[in-house]
Amino acid sequence: MIEFRSVSHAFDDVPVLEDVSLSIDAGEFVLLAGANGSGKTTLLRHSNGLLEPDSGEVLVDGTPVAEDLIAARSSVGMVFQHPRDQFVAATVGEDIAFGPENLGLDRAEIDRRVTAALETVNMAGREDERIDALSGGEQSRVAIAGALAMEPTHLVLDEPFTGLDAPARRSVLERLASLSADGTGVLLATHDLRDVCELADRVIAMHDGRVAVDGPPADALAELDGLEVRVPDTTRC
Amino acid sequence: MLTYEPDESLAHRLDPRAKLAVQIGFAATALAHTTPRALIAFSALTAVAMATARLSLRRTLVSYRLALVVLALAPLLAGVTVGPPWFDRSAAVASGLASYRVLLILLVSAAYVRSTPVRDSRAAIQRTIPGKPGQLLGVGVGLVFRFLPVLRGDLRTIREAMAARLGTERGVVDRASTIGMLGVARAFDRADRLSLALRARCFAWNPTLPALAFSRVDYPVLGLAVILAVSAFY
Amino acid sequence: MATDQHSVELVDDDVVKPFARAAVLAALMGAAVFVGSIPIPFSPIPISLGVIVVYLAGLYLGPYWGAFSLLLYLTAGAVGLPIFAERASGLGVLVGNSAGYLWSYPTAALLIGAVVHRLSEDGDPADLSRPVLVVTLLAALTVIYLLGAAWLGYVLELSTVKAIEIGVVPFIPGDLIKIAAVVAIVEAERIAT
Ligand SMILES: Nc1ncnc2c1ncn2[C@@H]1O[C@H](COP(=O)(O)OP(=O)(O)OP(=O)(O)O)[C@@H](O)[C@H]1O
Ligand SMILES: [Mg+2]
């Protein structure tokens, strides 16, 4: 479980998060919506200690993040917006191995995790391919596999769909849904709810650094007016 | 362009550390000797190194063309004198021999390049250079490999965007500073995002290192490296 | 969990950022040899971005990380990435005819970085006055020429005068233009430190 307890954060005295409290349970699929600049990315970066709150506290599976960064970062797998900039190696397999190597696992275990992570994102057997030669959708999936290889209890994704077409979005989303069905908590930031919200258990919307809406998709949708979040035209949620 | 090529040659099967040691030994002794006799021996060794890596002489020479121009020019220039006799043959010969051994050193290192994937070199660095410097250099080499195509694309985009609006008509200082500034600013943007990703993925001082092991064929090669290095002093 | 058997020692957050910048700058230095250079009037040698990156590494990464960035560039080229001039690579280049120039790069970045470190508030090169900046860059260029020509002369058995004729003179116009470009970059204050 990831818990934010009254988290506040300011950049250069400009408040960006104000007294945010929420929690994400294991196996939950939660959407984090909100307009540009509403504080989604900032919130996510508190979940694994990339940022420290000015006040308040973040706990991962009961342990304060600040107390055990290694536990927080191996329990919370993070996927950023620009996959190109987060790969550390030139080939798929080497990149996915990076996290497990940092945990000091032995080589056989690392290989097992790389294989398993690639299977989970539907890219089995493509370890030796060059990352640059992959399509945008495939790169997103490799980025997710890199996070999964840490065997996290939660997956936190910051707009992983930039530049993906509808089928690619769809396939990544379905992977995420099945991961959450298998017990991984998923927190997905986006300002575009098209075809995402029917898969989610909960929608949280940020507005000016505060949680404006938090509830099941169907209820949350009705409250999103004025928050500049793109809502599906059909009521598929 | 000279670069790693997958193959089954003997050199491909050697441990990268053994290959690095031979290059260092060879360079050390070649820098110390320029007698024709020594150069004949070095040439033979170079030929062996190239054969073990199945290196094409012609393609390798093409990839070192810039160095070749200098190496060819140096003896000519060395021979020219301002007054009579106008050309000093012995100075030209001395420089020619010196240039030739530089060419041999380049060819031997080309054998390493063709036969060693970056992954192996990274492993060799991390396993040979102790502590934090080794870790940073090893991971760093991997990152340079990873970001080379990305930044190449960035630079190309910057130049095309400038040309599209006739930036080519501007002065040379202006153009150089614009490309340099945008190039570095964009590179730092990417680096800052990369550093977040490194932190999120538990970037550690003591990771599991890439696997690497000496095998039977490596020991004679290491022995050769030692002999070469020692011969530098005789 | 894995962390029970093995004590993971995280790289400090304030090391990760300059390290990532140094690595990416080394890649930029390498990428510069792929994108064509700018021809300049009255000189046989066109401008390449390369040495500009050396100066900027010292200016924006400081003495240690700046020098590290260029050592990384040398290492990556030595093990086979095609990032030396004209896409060459290999350990041999680091002892070959142009080795002096290459090894002078980390030295030059160290020198520039040390000046910025001493004379500016928090490592921001924009704090330097224009004369100080120009003198610093010229001093770095002198180091590059000295080491470059000295090794060229030694390894090819050329006299000092001839090493300078072949290894310094043709480059002077381009190098002065690059220094002017770097001054313009610093004064534009658009690169965040
Ligand atoms: N490192 C930083 N330094 C200063 N200000 C920042 C920093 N990061 C974010 N901000 C500011 O904080 C606010 C919230 O930014 P954040 O990135 O969290 O928004 P977001 O909801 O993720 O937006 P987007 O949809 O555009 O990604 C913005 O006004 C932004 O300018
Ligand atoms: Mg964001």
Query: ipTM of this model?
Result: 0.95
CA of B201 vs chain A CAs: smallest distance (Å): 5
Interface test with C, best of A82, A103, A105, A112 (most C CBs within 10 A): A103
Alpha-carbon distance B158 to A211, whole Å? 40
How distant is the Cα of C21 from the closest Cα of chain B, in angstroms? Answer: 5
pLDDT score at C190: 85
Among A211-225, B14-28, C62-76, the minimum mean pLDDT is found in A211-225
Nearest bound ligand to the CA of residue A42: 1
Tell me which chains share at least 3 CB pairs under 8 Å with chain B: A, C
Would you say residue C181 lies in a domain? yes
Say yes or no: CB of residue A190 within 6 Å of ligand 1: no
> Is the separation of the CB atoms in A31 and A44 below 8 Å?
no
> How many Cβ atoms sit within 10 Å of the Cβ of residue C68?
26
Instruction: Give the pLDDT confidence score for residue C41 in this predicted structure.
Output: 64
In a domain, residue C66? The reply is yes
CA–CA–CA angle A102, A103, A109 (5° rounding) = 105
Return the beta strands (E) in A87-209 as ranges: 154-158, 185-189, 202-207
Q: What is the DSSP letter of C92?
A: G
Structure tokens at C149: 């020509």
Task: Point out the ligand 1 atom lying closest to the alpha carbon of residue A44.
Answer: 18
Q: Are B113 and B3 in contact (CB under 8 A)?
A: yes
- A230: pLDDT confidence band, cut at 50, 70 and 90? low
User: Residue C177 falls within a domain, yes or no?
Assistant: yes
Answer whether residue C1 is part of any domain: no
- Burial of C122-149, coded b for 16+ CB within 10 Å and e otherwise, reads eebbbebeeeebeebbeebbebbbebbb
- Write out the two tokens for A233: 């035209």
Cβ atoms of B50 and B57 closer than 8 Å: yes
Ligand 1 atom 16, closest CA:
A39
Per DSSP, the residues of B51-82 read: HHTT--HHHHHHHTHHHHHHHHHHHHHHHB-S
The CA-CA-CA angle for residues A5, A11, A12, to 5°, reads 135
| CA-closest residue to ligand 1 atom 27 | A36
Nearest in space to A231 (alpha carbons), one of A177, A195, A188: A195
**Residues A110, A101 contacting (CB under 8 angstroms):** yes
Pick B197's closest partner by Cβ from A85, A102, A106.
Answer: A85
Phi and psi based region of residue C11 (left: phi greater than 0; alpha: psi -120 to 50; beta: remaining): beta
Domain that holds residue C83: 15-192
**Residue type (1 letter), B74:** A
Is residue C8, in this structure, part of any structural domain at all? no
CA of C84 to the centre of ligand 1 (A): 39
Whole-angstrom Cα distance, residue C90 to residue C82?
8
Please list every residue in chain B whose beta carbon sits closer than 8 Å to the beta carbon of residue A104.
Answer: 204, 206-208
To 10 degrees, the CA torsion angle through B7, B9, B11, B16?
40
Residue A234 has pLDDT above 60, yes or no: no
Question: Which of C23, C81, C91 has its CB closest to that of B118?
Answer: C81
Q: What are chain C's partners, defined as 3 or more CB pairs within 8 angstroms?
A: A, B
DSSP line for B121-139: HHHHHHHHS-HHHHHHHHH
Give average pLDDT by consecutive 10-residue segment, chain C, 193 residues. Answer: 66 94 97 77 67 95 97 97 92 95 96 94 89 96 95 94 90 92 92 82
β-bridge mates for residue C38, sequence order: C47
Which residues of chain B make contact with C137, given a CB cutoff of 8 A? none
Please report which helix (H) or strand (E) contains residue A17, including its range.
strand A14-24
List the residue whose alpha carbon is closest to atom 24 of ligand 1. A36
Mean pLDDT of chain B: 93
Of A188-202, B215-229, C142-156, the range with the lowest mean pLDDT is A188-202
- Delimit the domains of chain B by residue range: 10-116+213-231, 130-200
pLDDT tens by residue, A114-129: 999 999 888 999 999 9
Nearest alpha-carbon partner for B210 in A94, A127, C75, A96: A94
- Name the phi and psi angles at B174, rounded to 5: -60, -45
Task: Say yes or no for a CB contact (<8 Å) between B201 and A98.
Answer: yes
Does the pLDDT value for residue A195 go beyond 90? no
Domain locations in chain A as residue ranges: 2-222
Exposure of A116 by Cβ count < 10 A (0-12 exposed, 13-18 middle, 19+ buried)?
middle
Cα-only R_g, chain B: 23
Residue among B150, B197, B207 whose CB faces A104 most closely: B207
- Residue B72: CB atoms within 10 A of its CB come to 13
Q: At B169, is the pLDDT very low, low, confident or very high (cuts 50, 70, 90)?
A: confident
CATH class of A2-222: alpha beta
B152 touches A: beta carbon within 8 Å: no
Phi, psi of B229 (to 5 degrees): -60, -40
